[in-house]
Structure 1
Amino acid sequence: MTLAFPNYSRSFDKARNAVRFTGHDGIFEVPFLIEICALGASATAAHLTELEEDAFLSAFDRRRSAVHAAAAKAYEGGRRRPYYILTAADIR
């Protein structure tokens, strides 16, 4: 099967300074995190405001195609991890 992204949901994970999203490989859900610095933001913000979190989610939305392509590349070969973390190096 191929990794697909039928669900456009994403959420901000304060504990990891990352955006969570999910892909699907057939019936299997594949969880991903993308670090905010990969979306062009500073990862040093300790106490993010709701506006900043919304800005990160908007940045994710603007780069969704690139993020999904990087996620598919990271997933190549099938599920091997409980979740995948994408960094700025993955989004080039």
Structure 2
Amino acid sequence: MALSFSNPSRSYDGTKHGVWFWGYDNTREITFFVEDHVLMNFDSDLEADEAGVLASFDRHRDEILKFAMSLYVNDRRQALYTLH
């Protein structure tokens, strides 16, 4: 089965400066983390607070998920992937 992002949940992490989100390969949960500076590539005027970062993630969700999918396809052994 291919990786899916059936759970739209995402969570801001102010300590690590980014957003956690999850994908699923059959019953296996795969954790992803996208760093704030990656989102700044999409939105150069990004507000670096929780609301701003989550809004940027939501606006660019499709591109982020495509990038996450490509990381996973290239190496399915990990349970945690960081987009940086």
Shorter-normalised TM-score: what interval? 0.7 to 0.9
When the two structures are aligned, how many residues end up with a matched partner? 79
1:59 CA displacement = 0.2
- Maintained 8 Å contact 1:30/1:79: no
- Maintained 8 Å contact 1:6/1:24: yes
Per-residue CA deviation, residues 23-81 of structure 1 (Å, 9 max, x unaligned), is 00011100000001111178xxxxx6xxx111100000000000000000000055312
Please tell me the root mean square deviation across aligned C-alpha atoms, in Å: 1.7
1:86 aligns with 2:74: no
1:16 CA displacement = 1.1
The letter of the residue matching 1:5 is: F
Unaligned runs of 5+ in 2: none
2:5 is matched with which residue?
Answer: 5
Q: Name the CA distance, whole Å, in 2 between partners of 1:39 and 1:77.
A: 22
Higher mean alpha-carbon deviation, 76-85 vs 11-20, is at 76-85
2:25 is matched with which residue?
Answer: 25
Could you tell me which of 38, 42, 67 is aligned with 2:64? Answer: 67
- Maintained 8 Å contact 2:29/2:79: no
1:18 CA displacement = 1.0
Structure 1 residue ranges (4+ consecutive) displaced by more than 2 angstroms after TM superposition: none
Q: Name the CA distance, whole Å, in 1 between partners of 2:51 and 2:3.
A: 26
